[in-house]
């Protein structure tokens, strides 16, 4: 197993130095305006997920039972971070959502962050700065509430249609 402590530090650093930082590309908002409140309130579970050690449904059930509402999981196989091509991200995300549904885990959705994804806003690609392929899981009601609140702002204004489609946002 990889040094989990270092991997967790890397993920938290990515969140605090990239995802939670307001940028002009996101109209002065952080890439994810909800990351910092989740993290600082202790609602975000950060860890390594290795499918060779545990199943995704078992991992999710443990996260939920511990009272977390979201998770950021670095995908590893043994000591090695999993690398996926840009075309595999959406397929893998859909697969994980189906696995959760088939396992009776409802009310959660994952969004995978692949450093190899090429989507950007005005040349800025925060996904490319991720230290690992991340599985980010959130409660669907939190995602819907967040999306609804952001549509009332300038958050999506600079986002090209391609990026909005990538995020599955229809405005």
At 83-119, the pLDDT tens digits run: 999 889 989 999 999 999 999 999 999 999 999 998 8
Q: Is residue 31 part of a domain?
A: yes
Confidence at residue 160, expressed as pLDDT on a 0 to 100 scale: 85
Examine residue 125 and state whether it is found in any structural domain, yes or no. Answer: yes
Give the DSSP H or E segment for 4: helix 4-14
Domain residues for 122?
Answer: 4-165
What is the domain count for the chain?
1
DSSP 89: H
pLDDT of 144: 87
Q: What is the pLDDT of residue 1?
A: 53
Structural domain includes residue 171? no
Q: Is 159 part of any domain?
A: yes
Helix, strand or coil, per DSSP, at residue 30: strand
Residue 170 lies in a domain: no
Tell me the backbone φ, ψ of residue 44, rounded to 5 degrees.
Answer: -105, 120
Between strands 70-77 and 80-81, the pairing is antiparallel
User: Residue 89 and residue 91: Cα distance in Å, rounded?
Assistant: 6
| Look-up of token digits 């959502």 | 97
Residue 132: how many CA atoms within 13 Å on its side-chain side?
29
User: Which pLDDT belongs to residue 150?
Assistant: 92
**pLDDT beneath 50, residues of the chain:** none
């Amino acid at each position: 197993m990889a040094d989990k402590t270092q991997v967790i530090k890397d993920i938290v650093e990515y969140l605090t130095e990239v995802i939670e930082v307001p940028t002009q590309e996101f109209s002065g908002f952080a890439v994810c305006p909800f990351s910092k409140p989740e993290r600082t309130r202790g609602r975000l579970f950060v860890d390594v997920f290795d499918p060779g050690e545990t199943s995704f449904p078992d991992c999710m059930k443990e996260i939920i039972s511990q009272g977390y509402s979201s998770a950021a999981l670095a995908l590893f196989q043994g000591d090695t971070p999993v690398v996926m091509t840009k075309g595999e991200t959406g397929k893998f995300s859909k697969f994980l959502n189906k696995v959760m549904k088939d396992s009776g885990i409802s009310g959660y959705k994952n969004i995978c962050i692949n450093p190899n994804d090429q989507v950007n806003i005005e040349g800025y690609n925060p996904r490319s700065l991720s230290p690992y392929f991340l599985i980010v899981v959130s409660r669907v009601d939190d995602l819907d509430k967040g999306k609804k609140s952001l549509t009332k702002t300038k958050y999506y204004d600079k986002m090209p249609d391609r990026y909005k489609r990538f995020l599955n946002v229809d405005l």
